[in-house]
Structure 1
């Protein structure tokens, strides 16, 4: 079965000698036992779905099919050639042969496709689709069932159970077929909408037959209402309909059944219903697409909620968690961008469908059937659902933006902690360096002392007699004692002079080592924001940095101070506070080449000024001074 456009590009279903499927050796892969309740004569199968297209995608599709070049029997596959420089391309049976029959470069294309997909062992299946693709996104696959298990179904009745098994295979194979000719953009859209299960996406099914039969024990006339029994017959039909909605007895003696994802038409005059069914299938296909679209939006809302809960439940971010959150947010952003790109295509499809629904009013002789389908009401509901997507997408974008701002706030807080830790590490390294320098100076002093001791011993050895000999010589006893006292007194004076010189030398070295003084006062408490602003207005602010998000408004200010209270020093101040939360984080003071100023003095003067101006309470000053 193929789909053919008329002058207004309406879709009509006409008979064709397409074949599906042929099973040889009387084999199949059905594992369960089938209860035969409904038998159909000359079944025809139509599958409809909606995929966002548009003019540019339509041109791309025609070019890929070689429509303009009139290429016959092109082989298409979604497998990527990993050796493009080679003259041959090897692949399994996962390709399709396409024969373009009719096309309009920007509007539609109609083609036959013979698919070659692997089947279970012992199963031989030949599938040929008639496919119609329109610029408004509607796609219809049509085929006739000719043979099943070596049985010519054109001459024999076929069980509905067997047909539904074939339907399941056709739905998947049609997805693989269209995947080979869609653009990467469209395949990405389907992958996102159907959560990576696009091959098994639901489609709208239409099963048509010329007649039906029931088993002998159910012989007798059956009306449409008799099939909605809530038991065996309804369950049998639900294999195609998904959920039985209602049935209709046709004037010519046929039956029609409508479901949520399919319909069954049994009539020898099925051609007169084709235009109406084609329009309804397009609406139903778009309805199924919108349902999956909405489900994807809810999934993204849930993803945002999970990311937010994760961030709010943790005490401290780490590198691994930051990377995970960034990846999840990037994926959500990417999917939202792709979903937003669908909206213009949906509007175009709604406009096209509106015209087609209005055109059906000209079929006055089919009014009973159009009224039964209630197509106009169905379309208006679909139109409202489509319009509601805009509001949901805007809400989703605001949701993601809020999650991103929370993440940015946490990241900035983590960066501030990292900066503070780094600064503390630098300070510790400075202290270690100073200690090392002091130890070096101490060693130098010890060396000088030892050198002095050695020198004194040498002087004593050279200029003084050994004590034993002098004591033994009574004549020289008086001179010996007088000489030792004089030398001792002179050595004491020299030693005092050396000690004083070394002390001054040590102070000089310490002064040269202390070329940079850094004082970090971590306030981390509430403050009187008005008084703080007044305090800052009295300063000559040089640098102001502002970082704002949903919950904070950080101000980072820098200025320099000098004057009598600081001696001959120039102090560089850095102050950080949160204006929105009235929170003072810290005051950092740096002094280059400090002279006669200590860390404690800086803390005392700065904190006393803040307390006097009622910026922070006195207790906070006492608690936070290191």
Structure 2
């Protein structure tokens, strides 16, 4: 028989001394009006029914060099608290796996690795995980040399962390050589600083204060292989065509070309392998009908080439699509029930890699999807002795390419449902593997494969965490895991119907697990919305943000409810998963796998999730009422402010209008009075005209002649009036050509940095308004640096919320001559001011860039057109530090030197002052704006960074 389940606590029948009521000999028995004492039984006697816990004993000579290196690596990143005031330091499993992988690449550890589907944050991807390293970690925990800590992440995922114990430190000190210590130090220490594993832009980096480099743990290696399409007879229609065969091409993969960087150790091999990869996708009768119509199942020319690319210009004569097509041919179908097809993948591969991918695909109305293939060869192995290491890499290709194939066949709505559940990573969704092999080497009893060592490590690469192993016969073995099952032996193919039942149920189980996590993420969003409503005064954009979040969450809940309806109908209507096998061996396998219990649990879980979603919908309704109340309160406050301000403005406008008319009239009256006064001062009122010279030059020529003095007075009046007019016009011209820019900011700011910034400004006015929720401050100043502002002295006004630290509005004003062309445009004025706020650390670089994003984008468009590039083409610069293996990209947009330095600092997560020098490869120094202007798109830059 196979290995019994771990911790098997199956209860036996009732004890022989149990009474008829099932309570046994202990306790009380009713006897008329009194009680009769019974002998007391020790409660610990019940443990005789349970399996005793067996603890493994580990001696010092059990621990290998790899154990000691791994233990020393854990000690570098963990530390036990020595007092109540000190914090415990643990190293998480995921970063430790990255370090182990890098140690394998650098020949520190003698482990193998294989790709494994893993969720990082909310992103599912494949990591090169060493199962041998994981097994050694388990050994160290069992040996109490390290401790394990389980946490729950904000993404509702289980997180495991490790910490070395005192016994572990003692063993390292006692057994580990100085040479091995140095190897581990070279792995995790650089420039005397410990390297930290950082997840950034869907990439792992190893980084400290001085260096940073990218880990290749996410680079899945390729192997050459040839496969043929396969579908079990239980899924086929009688009389349908035989599937294609690529056996004649098996030798094409024998070139041994692959991208594997490690020397693999083969422990187990399998022969004559058939693989079924299963998943569940929301389907229904209408989707199957639409799929059959899309495939042309009833047409004369069926199938053809398919691509997931959407044709956005269907009337154009030609179309261009990315490389990579799928050739589909129909095997058999029922218009409303199922479709069986062959799909041949035509994706470009790396040079030297030969991958003949030809799948059989079964799509059913209940949502069950089966991808079947028969392995003809992997590398130089044709049919026989196929390594599980290479098989793991083949399965990753099958998973990813099968997702791409289905993406070409599914409807837009089905793709939306998948992206909702898998958070935009549907192409990397997890699937179930059924591996059926005629032989396995070495052939042994089932429990021998569950050795917690080499055999089990190999199996984990293709099955996930191993669960159980059973002997079905002398040569037939079944091994189950978290993501698949391995069935080997000469009679393995006979169990295909049970395997299909298992595949269908487990595919739903995996999908339900992902839906469950997605529902709780939705619940977290609703909690965040409630907190946003509570603190809505802290963010002036709160109402708009809350409503947008509620709208998106409501859409997600609608789609999740639809998915659960599909799941419920799928479980109820799929007769194949409710049928008990006819054969004795099939029933035995059915019971071993516990399919009946799994199906019952699945039904309960779906019903439970529907309750959670119903509660979430009611929560959204309540939150909408709350946010509407907040919006009404804000609108009422704004209306009151407008009403008060409008009355004051109306009175002021009427007063200014009257005053303006009076002043305009008084200008000319004043001009006449001034002219007459000038004449009076020139001639004198009584005395000057009696002098000899006045009589000769003024009285006789002008005053004694009729109307001459009057005409002269009028001309003087007109001359003075014109002089006053042109003087007033010149004064108005200086201020008539105003440049004004008002920006609605609504971004958080650093109040301390603002105070330091304003300390150097010539403040000309401040005022504030405070109520119970906000404190609005208004400050106004005039700039004094005439060179920075092209000869102008702009007046700047800031409006900000002192209580919550938000910059609300900015008003920029420049007064200039209207008759002279302006030296500054409003957009330039905006860019310069917000760049200054960013340099003063009042705004973060991200917020400052967001505010001026439209201006930068328009300028980038003009620059791209000037250099002949398409407007929509992404242009970037590649940046690295010396001796770094990988580049990082920053946007190319005709930056100034300061802007370029800030973008580089932001990419490397350092302060701008830490960017010492910038070089254009190989040795051109970039030192000013002119040097930056000469940089071409896609140039490679090297930067020297100063340690913080």
| 2:422 is aligned with 1:194 | yes
Distance 1:152 1:440, change over 3 A: closer
Q: Which residue of 1 aligns with 2:800?
A: none
Structure 1 position 203, deviation (Å)? 0.3
- 2:462 and 2:592 map into 1 onto residues whose CA distance is 19
| 2:485 is aligned with 1:267 | no
- 2:657 and 2:420 map into 1 onto residues whose CA distance is 64
Structure 1 position 339, deviation (Å)? 1.5
Q: Which residue of 2 aligns with 1:352?
A: 573
Gap runs ≥5 in structure 1:
215-220, 454-465, 467-523, 526-626
Distance 1:6 1:224, change over 3 A: closer
Structure 1 position 73, deviation (Å)? 4.8
Gap runs ≥5 in structure 2:
1-228, 674-685, 687-770, 773-948
Distance 1:374 1:318, change over 3 A: same
Residue 348 of structure 1 aligns to a residue whose secondary structure is: helix
Distance 1:412 1:199, change over 3 A: same
Residues 18 and 129 in structure 1, CA contact (< 8 A), matched pair in contact too:
no
Residue 315 of structure 1 aligns to a residue whose secondary structure is: helix
| 2:570 is aligned with 1:340 | no
Structure 1 position 193, deviation (Å)? 0.6
Distance 1:442 1:95, change over 3 A: closer
| 2:486 is aligned with 1:288 | no
- 1:146 and 1:200 map into 2 onto residues whose CA distance is 25
- 2:396 and 2:487 map into 1 onto residues whose CA distance is 19
Give a deviation string over 1:65-101, Cα, whole Å, max 9, x none. 1101143450010112344334444334321111101
Distance 1:69 1:4, change over 3 A: farther
Residues 422 and 514 in structure 2, CA contact (< 8 A), matched pair in contact too:
yes
- 2:500 and 2:244 map into 1 onto residues whose CA distance is 17
Q: Which residue of 2 aligns with 1:104?
A: 334
Distance 1:7 1:287, change over 3 A: closer
- 1:55 and 1:314 map into 2 onto residues whose CA distance is 47
| 2:304 is aligned with 1:74 | yes
Q: Which residue of 1 aligns with 2:294?
A: 64
Map 1:503-582 onto structure 2 (within 5 A).
none
Higher Cα Rg, which structure: 1
Structure 1 position 8, deviation (Å)? 11
Higher helix share: 1
Give a deviation string over 1:408-456, Cα, whole Å, max 9, x none. 2221111111111111111211331454477589989999xx9xx9xxx
Corresponding residue to 2:589 among 369, 378, 388 = 369
Q: Which residue of 1 aligns with 2:325?
A: 95
Distance 1:267 1:375, change over 3 A: same
Residues 231 and 373 in structure 2, CA contact (< 8 A), matched pair in contact too:
no
| 2:445 is aligned with 1:223 | yes
Q: Which residue of 1 aligns with 2:644?
A: 424
Structure 1 position 152, deviation (Å)? 1.7
Distance 1:101 1:446, change over 3 A: closer
Q: Which residue of 1 aligns with 2:523?
A: 301
- 1:443 and 1:83 map into 2 onto residues whose CA distance is 66
Distance 1:416 1:133, change over 3 A: same
The structure, 1 or 2, with the larger RCO (C-alpha pairs under 8 Å, 6+ apart) is 1
Structure 1 position 140, deviation (Å)? 0.2
Structure 1 position 122, deviation (Å)? 2.1
Task: Give the CA RMSD over aligned residues.
Answer: 3.5
Structure 1 position 373, deviation (Å)? 0.8
Residues 171 and 203 in structure 1, CA contact (< 8 A), matched pair in contact too:
yes
Residues 16 and 144 in structure 1, CA contact (< 8 A), matched pair in contact too:
no
Structure 1 position 263, deviation (Å)? 0.2
Residues 234 and 497 in structure 2, CA contact (< 8 A), matched pair in contact too:
no
Residues 470 and 479 in structure 2, CA contact (< 8 A), matched pair in contact too:
yes
Q: Which residue of 2 aligns with 1:36?
A: 266
Give a deviation string over 1:320-370, Cα, whole Å, max 9, x none. x444333322221222222222232112111134x3343215444532211
Residues 273 and 375 in structure 2, CA contact (< 8 A), matched pair in contact too:
yes
Residues 41 and 158 in structure 1, CA contact (< 8 A), matched pair in contact too:
yes
| 2:610 is aligned with 1:398 | no
TM-score of the two chains, using structure 2 as the length reference: 0.44
Residues 477 and 488 in structure 2, CA contact (< 8 A), matched pair in contact too:
yes
Aligned pairs, how many?
449
Give a deviation string over 1:183-223, Cα, whole Å, max 9, x none. 00001111111111111100000111101113xxxxxx621
Residue 112 of structure 1 aligns to a residue whose secondary structure is: strand
Corresponding residue to 1:172 among 377, 400, 405 = 400
Structure 1 position 299, deviation (Å)? 1.2
Residue 143 of structure 1 aligns to a residue whose secondary structure is: strand
Residue 245 of structure 2 aligns to a residue whose secondary structure is: coil
Q: Which residue of 2 aligns with 1:331?
A: 552
TM-score of the two chains, using structure 1 as the length reference: 0.66
Q: Which residue of 2 aligns with 1:381?
A: 601
Residues 232 and 496 in structure 2, CA contact (< 8 A), matched pair in contact too:
no
- 1:391 and 1:9 map into 2 onto residues whose CA distance is 40
Distance 1:381 1:318, change over 3 A: same
- 2:356 and 2:665 map into 1 onto residues whose CA distance is 101
Q: Which residue of 2 aligns with 1:140?
A: 370
- 1:205 and 1:195 map into 2 onto residues whose CA distance is 23
Give a deviation string over 1:364-404, Cα, whole Å, max 9, x none. 45322111011101100001001112101101112222232
- 1:197 and 1:422 map into 2 onto residues whose CA distance is 48
Give a deviation string over 1:143-179, Cα, whole Å, max 9, x none. 01112224322xx311111111101111101000111
| 2:417 is aligned with 1:185 | no
- 2:300 and 2:246 map into 1 onto residues whose CA distance is 21
Residues 245 and 258 in structure 1, CA contact (< 8 A), matched pair in contact too:
yes
